[in-house]
Structure formats: C-alpha cells, structure tokens
A and B are shown apart, each in its own frame.
Chain A
C-alpha cells in the first residue's frame, strides 16, 4: 500500500478534493432528488460507466500536475450498493493518476442494507478510511414510508461491522421533520443513535423537493410545521453538543478532529473536481457541473464530446458573495481582514447589519470572527440575503485607491 501513495512533497502544492458520483441505488427513496436510479445494476451499463470514469480520471489528472489530492469522496446514489470491486477499481485509477496524499481522507457513502463485512474489509485495506452511513431514522415505520430499503436494526449492525472492519471515522446521516414526526420521536431517535457512538453526524431537515414522489403528496402529508422543525433542529444541536459533537456546519456535527475534510472544501471555497453525471467541480476559477445523465456522460467522455451542463467563471465580486454564503454555514464564519484582503470589498456595511443581529442572538463575534448561532443558522437564508444585498451596494476598495 505504501508504494501507491506519492511521497508527501513540500508546499506550494495545491490541494484538491475529488468527488465521484455513483448514481446506482437499490431503490429510489421518496424524498430523494439527487441524480440516481433504483433497480438492478445492468452489467453493460456498469462496465460502460467504469470505462468512462477511468478515461475521465486519466484525462483530468493530466491537467493538474501541480495538485495533490487530500480528499476523495464517493457519493451517490449508493456507493455501497455499487460494490467493493467497482469502487476499488475507480479508486485505483485515482491513485495511479493523481498524487494522493498518504493521509488523505477517503470516504464512501453506504446504506445499511448493502454493507457487508467483506466489502468493508476490502475497502478498508485499499485505503478507504471514512464511511458515511444513511441511517435517517430509528423508526422502522418511518423508514418504510420514506422508501428506505432497510430497518433500524440493520443500521445498528452496519455500524458494528464498520467498526469491526477497522473504520474509526464513521458518520451517520439523520433526518428530522419527517411526516408525522413529533419532537418526542426525534428526541428518542437521537438518544438511540448516540448509543452507536459514531464520530460524526449529519442531520437534515426534510425538504420536499419538486420532482420527487413525496412532492406529489405534499398536500396530504402531515409534515411538522416550521415551528416544530425549528424546535427539532435546536434540540439536536443542543443534544449533540452535550454529547461531545461540535457543530461545524448548519447540518454537520463532529467529535474533535473528525470534521469531514472533503465537505469542508465546499464551504471554504476550496478546489474540487467531480466525476460522474451531475457531479460539480470548482477548479481553476471555474465552476461547472456534469450533465445529469449517465448515458450522455459515458458517451461524452468516450467520444470527447460535451459533458458539461453548466460552466461559469466566477468573478471576484461573486466570490465575495460566496464567501459570505458558504462560510456563514460553518463555525469558521467570516472575518473582516480576511474579507477585505481577499475580495477588496469593505466589511463595514456587513458589520452594520451583523451588529444588530448579534443583539437578537442570531450571530456572535468569536475571536474576531463573525459566526451564526444555531438560531441564526435557522434563518441563514435571510441573513445571507441581507448581507449580500449590502455587499452588492458597496463600492470595492480597489476603486477607492
């Protein structure tokens, strides 16, 4: 294994995150609006897809020799359902073409029904060191209603198996605000999952997205109202904090040293490249998204045709807006000097808004950095909106010079 990793070079190597999208699932969940499809893994399609990914990875690696990869993330879809051998094959290709750091964080997403001991062992041996398990709820009835292909007991076992296979960085995905869910039920869920002692939690409020089966029923589904969802959220933040999980992003909580390095890249505006249909990249000042169509992706890659859906260069002013939008999602928040230096924009107009918000308990100044409180996170769209509005009205500092 040692030889596969390139020796760690001294700086100034640039860091890169790699995301691989696996659009295969056992079955499609009622609320899911990611690009994925449920059902069997068609051999022909899987082979075609692997071939396309391999080609795409090789091609891309040639364009970024000055980068070292410090995170790799297999998301989906359901990578665990895709199978250990397929994942290994892709990862091997990444290792062969990119300079991947020896301590890189390598994550795959898994559902309890498609996790096996063998799979876990194979991947762990290959260098995978983090697993994100979709648990969602401890209530089997709810899991069934959501279209999840597993029950809670399977989730408990999955965590035990992962632990046994040597994964010591385990993340669990949870959902709240589910149809018919009460605050008490959610509290019970949290109590149960805490017993599993993972290193990391992601807690998402259910959002009914257009185009999902749940959307069609949205008018008759008894969803908890905003008030109840807000209460559930604040309860989770509090409970997890008391259990030793620090909130480092709106929906993410980790034990010390276990924040998701890969996901942080999204929020800190760092560079990443996405492979596979619907995967997004932010690389070389451009942000682009692959077409959300596996056939178009395979064909595009293999025939050197177009595979992008959207591609835009982000000007500095917009980067400043993204800084506010993304950083305020995290516990890092935003900082005056950093902001003015990087974007040549005055921080004063933002401060003028942040100060009264602090009085309302929506944000606070921590060691010079403005961060949102949990109450503020709940209103982050409003807060970010106001800050960006002020931003768009302010004159860049560069002009003043």
Chain B
C-alpha cells in the first residue's frame, strides 16, 4: 500500500488532436510501465474504433510507478480523456477521480474551444490545472505566445509550463516532475468506513461487471462484503487491483487515495451505476459521495435491427454498452415500418455514430438508424405539455398551441480571417449573435445562440470546411424557445414510412424535402417497378421524385461451369436483400436511412 503522500491522481485534458493520447504513451514509456517492444501508438485507446479514427472515446485509467528526481517512488494514476465536445461527460467523470489535470495545448494552434471547456470542467471540480505546451518542434510553434494566451484567457500561470514534444519524446520527464510537485496528494482516511466512487465500469464475459473506482475513504479487500449505496445491491469482493495498460494487476487491497478495479461476480448490469458509491456492508458509510449529475442526452434517434428477428440481440447489446457508456439512454419504440426497436439518446452526432459502430462491430449487428432529432416541447390546446422524443409521437397540427425547440449557447474559436464565413454559416443555421471577442491577435471567440437542431446534422463539418479546419466548437444547453415546426413525412410508392418522418423548422421544409427525395432516389436501388418518392406535410405533397423501374438484371450465360458461380451470385444478392427492409413492396437498404441524415450543402 502506497502512502497517501506518494500518490498522485491526474488526468490529461485538451482539445481534440492536441496530443493527449500521445503524451500518455510517452508517460507510460518513461515510467517503464510497458516494454518498448510492446509499445504501440495510442496504447490506451484499446478500442479498434479509437485507433482507426485516431481519437479517444473512452476515458481510461492506468497506474504508473515513477522514481522522481527527489529519489522517492511515486504512484501516478493517469486517466486519459476524450477531447470531442460530445464526450465532455466522460471527461467530467474522470476528473472527479483526480486531484489535478494536465492541460495540453498545441504550441501552434493555441487555445481552442475544447481547451476552454475542459479547463473549466477541471476548475469546477476543484482540480489543480497544470498547462503543458505540446508540439514545440513544429515549425509553426509559438510557445511564448501560447503561454501568454493561457494566462490571459484562462487565467492560470503558464510561465513554467513544460515545453514538450510528445511525438518526439522531448521533455517528457519534466511533465512527470510537474505532476509530482504540482498535483496535490490525495486526502482520505484509510481507517474510515469505505467510500469508493464508481467512475466507470465494463462487462467481462468471464468475470461479470468490472467496476473502476477511486477510493475516497477506507479500504477494500477481496472477501469483503460491499454494498452499492444507490441501488442497495450487495456483493462479496472477489478481486481488487490496479490497472496496468495491458492487464489488471490483482492487489491485496485498495485504500483511500488509490484508483483501481473491483470484481465481485456481478451479473446484474443495472446494479452498478457509474457515479454510485461503494461501501462496506459491515461498517457502512453514513452518506454517499456526491455522484455525477445525470447527463441529458440531446440527440435522439430510432435504432432498429436490420433483421427484425434480432431485436433481442439488440436489447442485450444496448444493455451491455450502456454499462460502458452511461451517457446513452434507450427506450423501446415501435415503428409501423421497422417493427420493434429502441429510441436511443446520445450526447451528439459523433457520439451516436460511435455507438452505432460499436454496436455493429462489438455485437455484430446490422442496424437501421432513423434521422436524429432533438427533444421538442409542445404545448397542446388542451393545456397539456409534452416532450417529443420521436417524430412518431409528434402531435397533430390541430392539437398544437405552441411548439418549442431547444437552443444552445455555442462558442466558436477561429482565426480572425474566417469570422465572415462563420457569421454567414451561423446565420444560415438560424443562429442569434451574442458577442465576439479577440482572445489575442490570432484568435477570436464568437458566441451565438443556436437551435440545437441546426447543429446536430452537419454543422461541425461545415464549420471545419469554412475555416480550413481551424474553427473549433463548444456548446451547452440553453433554453427552449417558441418555434415554427412541422413534421415532414416520406411516402414510398404511396405508403407513409413512419421511420423516415422528421421534424424541422417550417421555412426549411421545402428545400429539405426536395433534397431528401433526391437522396432517397440515389440510395434506393431500382426495383422491378417504378417507385414514387414523395415528401409531404400533413397530407400535402411538397416534393416528388421517381425511381425508375429496373429493366435489366440478367446473367446472359449459364452453362456447366457457370452454375456454381451463378448460385454464389444469387446467394450474395440474397444477403444484400437481408440487409434491406421491405416496406409494402419496396426494399430499402439501411444505408438509405443514413444517407438521408447526411445532407451536404
């Protein structure tokens, strides 16, 4: 057991792409936590998806043993966090397990929207924030200016911030020294009743739920009876230990100040909630630790198995994934067109995309996703107020007194050259200008009120393309405002496909309806008959396209040797069909649903 004075718990926060995960790699190397031989890039991003995209999705904890310049051995618990706005929640959870945070800032890019957002998160959690200037070996690096920017904009001292290159391993040790000196040692009473905060959990098919905890007070040991204070569930600890990057290392005990894992043969996933406090059954703590504020998903979408019979599999998959990503919500939904599925809530579109990909990869499911929507609020004429999570439940126009849509406070940071482009973009998206201030000569922060609905589709992509990749975005929920909303319905071959309906701002309806019909025409393969594609508001058709009938799909030759080949071809065609949903007589590939969402300009 390490003495409290020799433990440091810290996380790394930064804007996306400023080099968190690379710095984490270097820190692991520096502490010989992992053999050079085994070293690979983004080692903590163990999810295939994270490596492919080069981003961190899940926060991950790891323990480092560090011999500092003062000759003492320290235990450093590092938590790597995501940088994208959608995963703020992941960051804030990780921060509660720490006393300090390293703020990584790119020496050429300077402060970005997420730099600010994540710093404020850390400060709000009472953490010591220690800046580090990364990528100093880039030609465009301007470390002194960036330091000044940090002091001016964020208001934390940055003169002594280490100037490093995580990529090329420059000055890595100075970061570790800074952690030892600058991050406060954890406090806590190891003799007191157990209080351990669950900051993450995961399902293992051999050991059941594995909970990741930060022990605040007391000590937990194998064999001990524990209780989840929130749910009241009780278990006997089978194993506890530390997290090394490649494996879990069992230990005799986990004591106050330490970060580690507990297994207790927990089968019921819902018994362990992230944010709950673990205490002892025999000597329970009288109160739970302050948990997390429950995060409100902002974007909702219908998720259906492409093959209707896989509904049960989808439910199990969602349950397991929810354990690993508590910010997602799901509730059963029933569509006439798609059958049984779930209405899932996400933090943003990237989050949604990631969850979908994880479901498809980790659970081997083929999914159909409906257009994402925000939560609308409707005052009905009968005095009732309803929250509308899905277009399926949008009230009839005759019943509506007033509809409201959520607005966010958006903050966009950009080099001054692109201010004009951004203002234009925000205007197109019904943004309301608040103010603009120069952070320094090369950085402007623009603040807008924006309808969330306009942000969730492709705003981020549009922002990137209009600022040559320099613009960054952060937003938080503001309030509901009255709005002119309509529900747009899509008809294929005359049949209304409820799963394709969505709600939008009235003035955008015509343009969007036309585009959607075009997109569907592109994405639905020609079939044996002509298919009209129509978009309608309350029974009035406002756009129409026609998918012409297929005329030729034939294998001209079929002699002895071709028979096997032709059979395989038909087999493949059948597989393709399976991934399509049939509405009436029209087969629609699942990509068509997704294509509708991706509206390019």
Interface residues in chain A, defined as those with a beta carbon under 8 Å from any beta carbon in chain B: 19, 75, 204-205, 207, 226-227, 229-230, 233, 250-251, 263, 266-267, 272, 274, 278-282, 287, 289, 310, 312, 318, 321-322, 325-326, 329, 357, 360, 362, 377-385, 388-389, 392
Contacts and interface: CB of A to CB of B under 8 A. Distances in A.
Contact of A379 (B528, B570, B573): B528
B551 interface: yes
Contacts of B553: 378-382
Contact of B577 (A251, A329, A384, A385): A385
Contacts of A383: 528
Interface in B515-568: 527-529, 550-561, 563-564, 566-567
Contacts of B267: none
B557, B561, B569, B573 pick with most chain A CB within 10 angstroms = B561
30 contacts: A205-B552, A205-B556, A227-B551, A227-B552, A230-B551, A233-B552, A266-B558, A267-B558, A272-B560, A274-B560, A279-B561, A280-B559, A280-B563, A281-B560, A282-B563, A287-B564, A312-B564, A321-B567, A326-B558, A329-B558, A362-B528, A378-B552, A380-B554, A381-B554, A381-B569, A382-B527, A382-B553, A388-B574, A389-B574, A389-B577
Given A310-B564, A381-B573, A251 B557 contact: yes
A250 B560 contact: no
B397 to A, nearest CB: 37
Nearest to B548: A227
A19 B566 CA distance: 19
Interface of B: 527-529, 550-561, 563-564, 566-567, 569-570, 573-574, 577
Contacts of B555: 207, 380-381
Nearest to A290: B561
Contact of B556 (A207, A280, A362, A379): A207
Contacts of A207: 555-557
B552 A379 contact: yes
A265 to B, nearest CB: 8
Contacts of A230: 551-552
Contacts of A382: 527-528, 550, 553
B567 A325 contact: yes
Contact of B561 (A229, A278, A357): A278
B561 A250 contact: no
B573 A266 contact: no
Contacts of A227: 551-552
Contacts of A392: 574
Nearest to B573: A385
Contacts of A310: 564
Nearest to B529: A360
B574 A385 contact: yes
Contact of A205 (B554, B559, B563, B570): B554
Given A272-B560, A326-B558, A226 B552 contact: yes
B564 A384 contact: no
B552 A287 contact: no
Given A360-B529, A380-B553, A381-B554, A388 B561 contact: no
A234 to B, nearest CB: 9
B561 to A, nearest CB: 4
Contact of A279 (B527, B552, B560, B564): B560
Contact of A204 (B528, B550, B556, B570): B556
A-B CB proximity, top 8 nearest: A280-B560, A280-B561, A230-B551, A381-B553, A226-B552, A230-B552, A204-B556, A205-B556
B563 A326 contact: yes
A302 to B, nearest CB: 23
Contacts of B577: 385, 389
A318 B561 CA distance: 17
Given A266-B560, A280-B561, A325-B566, 16 more contacts: A204-B556, A204-B557, A227-B552, A230-B551, A230-B552, A250-B554, A250-B558, A251-B557, A267-B558, A274-B560, A280-B563, A287-B564, A289-B561, A382-B527, A388-B570, A388-B574
Contacts of A326: 558, 563
A360 B560 contact: no
A392 B569 CA distance: 16
Contacts of B558: 250, 266-267, 326, 329
Contacts of A384: 570
A226 B556 CA distance: 13
A19 B564 CA distance: 17
Nearest to A175: B556
Contacts of A205: 552, 554, 556
B561 A379 contact: no
Nearest to B553: A381
Contact of A263 (B528, B551, B559): B559
Contacts of A329: 558
A230 B573 CA distance: 21
A272 B574 CA distance: 28
B553, B557, B569 pick with most chain A CB within 10 angstroms = B553
Contacts of B527: 382
B576 to A, nearest CB: 9
A308 B596 CA distance: 48
Contacts of A357: 528
A289 B564 contact: yes
Contact of A266 (B556, B559, B569): B559
B45 to A, nearest CB: 38
A274 B570 CA distance: 24
B416 to A, nearest CB: 45
B528, B558, B560, B563 pick with most chain A CB within 10 angstroms = B560
